[in-house]
Structure 1
Amino acid sequence: MLGYLNKNQIEHLLYSLIIGRLGCHAHNKTYVVPITYAYDGTYIYGHTKEGLKIEMMRKNPEVCFEVDAIENMSNWRSVIAWGKFEELKTPEKREEGMLKLMDVVMPLMTGETTISNPMSDTHQKCIEAMKGVVYRVKLTEKTGRFEKT
């Protein structure tokens, strides 16, 4: 059975995942890239280094965001949302965004390749990570679909 996710199901999927795909368009080019994110009910928060994605979103802040949970080809849920990119530039806004992101991501960073001791110096790791670009996207429109057998 194919169907549409209701508002609560859309929100649940956005809250429950941490990897999504961000689509942006500028310079006659569309770019879709996976990101780690945190969702607070209004914004998705992200952090990255300078690069093509940031360059494009600065040029055209209108973006698309997609997440999906796939059990198999006949059992999946997907949300597509549209919104507006905003770079967090003040120290207070940058810290607020990084703390939201770290609160979601840190509990999952347990392997040696991701972090040596995930629960030590969380605040310090947050400050160190802020060397890149901290941003958020205000989601203004959302839609969701599913298939269930």
Structure 2
Amino acid sequence: MFVRVMSREECQGVVAAGDLARLACCRDDQPYIVPITYAHSGNRLYCFSMPGQKIDWMRSNPKVSLQIAEFASNRVVVTGRYQELPATQGCHHERIHAWSLLEKKPNWWEPGGLKPVPQEISGASAHIFFCVEMDEMTGRAACAGEL
């Protein structure tokens, strides 16, 4: 078995085909990583979350990384910038676009919408849509055989 560098096109294929990533963010020199469902469109990865630690951390430091795996052999790391899509007129169309892409994914709302503690009942939803504007992507593929 050997490991080879994936081409940009191969990396894009893994990102486009996937829907689950590990999102890494950092604040005050402390890293934090969580699973997240995403939908890919153009140069953006669209995501959904409820308020919490990852949102707080990304608001304070928008530089993030995502690791996306395809089977056990292909791994892609994306670096980019967090951008919140607030429920304002200026982001309305992009929020609808994000929702329309995410709703096609099975259980898309679970990683970002379920909290392990009781939540206050509110008249308005606190859900947050955001995207990661991709700056770079690199990948490695494990292959059977010899170089």
The TM-score normalised by the length of structure 2 is 0.77
- TM superposition shift of 1:91: 4.5
Change (3 A) 1:105 1:145: farther
Matched residue SS, 2:51: coil
- TM superposition shift of 1:141: 0.9
Specify the alignment match of 1:148 in structure 2: 143
Q: Which runs of 5+ in 1 are unaligned?
A: 115-129
Matched residue SS, 1:108: coil
CA distance in 1, matches of 2:28, 2:47: 23
Greater share of residues in helix? 1
- TM superposition shift of 1:6: 0.4
Specify the alignment match of 2:131 in structure 1: 136
How many matched pairs? 127
Specify the alignment match of 2:78 in structure 1: 81
CA RMSD of aligned residues (A): 2.2
Matched residue SS, 2:9: helix
Equivalent pair of 1:47/1:98 in contact (CA under 8 Å): no
Query: What residue identity is the alignment partner of 1:21?
Result: R
Correspondence list, 1:116-135, <5 A: 131-135=126-130
Correspondence list, 1:26-105, <5 A: 26-71=27-72, 76-89=73-86, 90-91=88-89, 93-94=91-92, 96-105=94-103
Extract structure 1 runs of 4+ deviating beyond 4 A: none
Matched residue SS, 2:59: helix
- TM superposition shift of 1:69: 1.3
Equivalent pair of 1:20/1:34 in contact (CA under 8 Å): yes
The TM-score normalised by the length of structure 1 is 0.76
Please give the per-residue CA displacement for 1:52-91, whole angstroms capped at 9, x wherever unaligned: 00000000001111100124xxxx0000011010111124
CA distance in 1, matches of 2:56, 2:31: 12
Change (3 A) 1:107 1:141: closer
Change (3 A) 1:97 1:10: farther
Query: What residue identity is the alignment partner of 1:139?
Result: M
